[in-house]
Amino acid sequence: MYYYYFEKFTNQYFRHAIHTNECPFLACYQDRVLIGFELSYYSAMVTAQKKYPLNNFYGCPYCCRASYVK
């Protein structure tokens, strides 16, 4: 279980990246929003979409590899 955050800024597709608290690519404190302490990336995504329904999210390729299909 990890604390999950999303970045306040978006990528070129207007999506916010979701990271774990241990990710080396996690944005600095003032540029991220806490989602919560979650079991997995998927539960963090669901929680983020419920709390912020107008935002779009994606998982970091480094710390949320489960979000990518091989």
- Map residue 66 onto helix, strand or coil: helix
Q: What is the pLDDT of residues 25-69, one digit of tens each?
A: 999 999 999 999 999 999 999 999 999 999 999 999 999 987 765
Domain ranges for the chain, please list them. 2-62
3-state SS string over 4-60?
Answer: EEEECCCCCCCEEEEEECCCCCCCCHHHEEEEEEECCHHHHHHHHHHHCCCCEEEEC
User: What is the pTM (predicted TM-score) of this model?
Assistant: 0.91
pLDDT score at 69: 54
